[in-house]
Amino acid sequence: MNSGRTIFAQVMDLLPLPEFRRCVERYQGDYKVQSFSCLDQFLSLAFAQLTYRESLRDIETCLRAHGSQLYHMGFRGGISRNTLANANQQRDWRIYADFAHVLIAQARRLYQHEPFAVELNQTVYAFDSTTVDLCLSLFPWAQFRRRKSAVKLHTLLDLRGNIPTAVYVTSGRVNDVNLLDQLMPEAGAFYLLDRGYVDYRRLYGITQALAFFVTRAEQNTRYRRCTWRGVDHATGLRSDQTIRLTGPKSSRRYPAPLRRIHYFDAEKDLRLIFLTNNFQLQPLLIAQLYRARWQVELFFRWIKQHLHIRAFYGTSQNAVKTQVWVAITVYVLVSILKKQLQLDLSLYKILQILSVTIFEKTPISLAFSQYNDRSLPTDPRIQLDLFTL
């Protein structure tokens, strides 16, 4: 990464362009395209994410203001609001979904030894969804309620590095538990699921795949206790039991034994009942694992606050999915940048620094090394005395 090139160009150097071209060829993204390629489209949308652009007109205005630098930033076609809008509507969103998975695989290799809140060697995933509200008149294909549209982002998050390994974009009406059918459980891995994902047939599928799950039991769960183990009540544990479901449907859908752990959270005065198919881990570790599921909630909050997915540059389903996948790609790209440059900064601070230095021509490592987290002392001599006449 040399001086004399913009920060944006140096960040985009991290992209594996041969893999991107394969994704484009797979879906014929550049078929009969003369000037504005899929790479130009991706760079435009990535620029919009990094600099918090609010609309297509914003993107067009900002990039045209630096027209002499665009060629050296990787752009080969002219930037036009209409051209970008047409590209978002017509070019297959799966190009950017497949490319995002290429970067996700790269990021997971970089973060595979990242320390985790729980001392566990296995891979731990959290699966959950978040809803993005939309205007019904503009997004009729995503109708959610009588007068409202919405899309859901269903995300499988690798808790080592908080890397999204699978993202599914659906309309708001799709039930969360249906997305468990899309998962291909990894043998030996742990899947942390909210109570809304309790479907015993699907949970039994995870067990048959030799993977583990941790979820919360429904209040009306009918079961028979088979065995129990002693617990230390000082840790918050109340019971650790092996059970079998006895409900007419649940017993048929999950015919194997389950582990039921009762835990009392004194801080929040909350009683929690966990169900898992793992019988080896200590019961307190199971409770700590489920607490780590909160990282997926923090991930959703982060991307909604710091990436542009609350408002969309197009109203078609293809445009929405394209924007979501480019946003996920930018998130993963910044995570890769942080690891490769060994930056001791949060992703939020890295994004903020990139947003204001994107056109600067300086080595990217120098741009981050100049950051000072300490506030400079104020010289009292330059302060006005409010009581001086």
d(C-alpha 76, C-alpha 36), whole Å:
7
**Per-residue pLDDT at 147:** 85
Tally of CB atoms within 10 A around 324: 23
Q: What are phi and psi of 164, to 5 degrees?
A: -70, 115
Residues 6+ apart with CB under 8 A from 197: 127, 176, 177, 180, 215
**Helix, strand or coil, per DSSP, at residue 28:** coil
d(C-alpha 258, C-alpha 235), whole Å:
22
**Per-residue pLDDT at 137:** 87
Q: What are phi and psi of 361, to 5 degrees?
A: -105, 85
> Any bridge partners for residue 193, and if so which?
127
Contact 192, 125 (CB under 8 A): yes
Output the six-digit token pair for 306.
């710091």
d(C-alpha 282, C-alpha 245), whole Å:
22
Provide Rg for the chain, Cα atoms: 25
Segment (H or E) for 252: helix 250-253
**Per-residue pLDDT at 1:** 44
Residue stretches of the chain with pLDDT short of 70: 1-3, 372-389
Q: What are phi and psi of 123, to 5 degrees?
A: -70, 140
Q: Is the pTM of this model over 0.85?
A: yes
**Whole-Å CA distances, 218 to 199, 203, 247, 260:** 10, 14, 12, 12
Tally of CB atoms within 10 A around 113: 9
Contact 83, 36 (CB under 8 A): yes
Closest CA to 276 of 268, 292, 265, 287: 287
d(C-alpha 27, C-alpha 94), whole Å:
8
**Per-residue pLDDT at 386:** 45
**Helix, strand or coil, per DSSP, at residue 199:** coil
